[in-house]
């Protein structure tokens, strides 16, 4: 069993279910979404290819009020999520035919 201890987090507590999800984005500059699975305490997202990602936490804002994830970089929240949290991420990529990768832990 692997142990995951993010900074400021649950030091020494075992991660029981690391997982991966991929979202295919067919068309650039089109908002997509991904709902973080229930029980997730931490996630990381990135583009598999060379797209810039615009990430928002509210629907229909990934083109106006967003965080930019530049190619080759990833986004991880600054602190753990509450396992009971319901979080949906809204994002768009700068290039067609991109895959957005998510790693998440519970």
What is the set of domains in the chain, with CATH numbers? 19-105 (2.60.120)
pLDDT at 85 (0 to 100): 85
Q: How far apart are CA 100 and CA 48, in angstroms?
A: 6
The yes-or-no verdict on residue 92 having pLDDT over 80 is yes
Q: What are phi and psi of 62, to 5 degrees?
A: -70, 0
Q: How far apart are CA 58 and CA 73, in angstroms?
A: 22
Provide the whole-model pTM.
0.83
What is the DSSP annotation of 49-84?
SS--EEEESSTT-TTTS-EEE-TT--B--SSPPPTT
Residue 20 near residue 71 (C-beta atoms within 8 A): no
pLDDT at 9 (0 to 100): 45
Contacts of 82 (CB under 8 A, 6+ apart): 41
- pLDDT for 56-79, tens place per residue? 999 999 999 999 999 999 999 999
The yes-or-no verdict on residue 13 having pLDDT over 90 is no
The yes-or-no verdict on residue 6 having pLDDT over 80 is no
């Amino acid at each position: 069993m692997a142990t995951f201890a993010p900074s400021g987090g649950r030091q020494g507590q075992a991660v029981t279910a690391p997982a991966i999800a991929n979202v295919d984005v067919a068309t650039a500059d089109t908002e997509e979404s991904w709902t973080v699975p229930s029980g997730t305490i931490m996630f990381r997202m990135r583009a598999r290819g060379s797209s810039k990602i615009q990430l928002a936490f509210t629907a229909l804002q990934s083109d106006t009020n967003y965080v930019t994830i530049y190619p080759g970089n990833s986004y991880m929240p600054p602190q753990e999520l509450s396992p009971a949290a319901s979080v949906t991420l809204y994002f768009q990529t700068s290039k067609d035919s991109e895959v957005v990768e998510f790693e998440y832990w519970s």
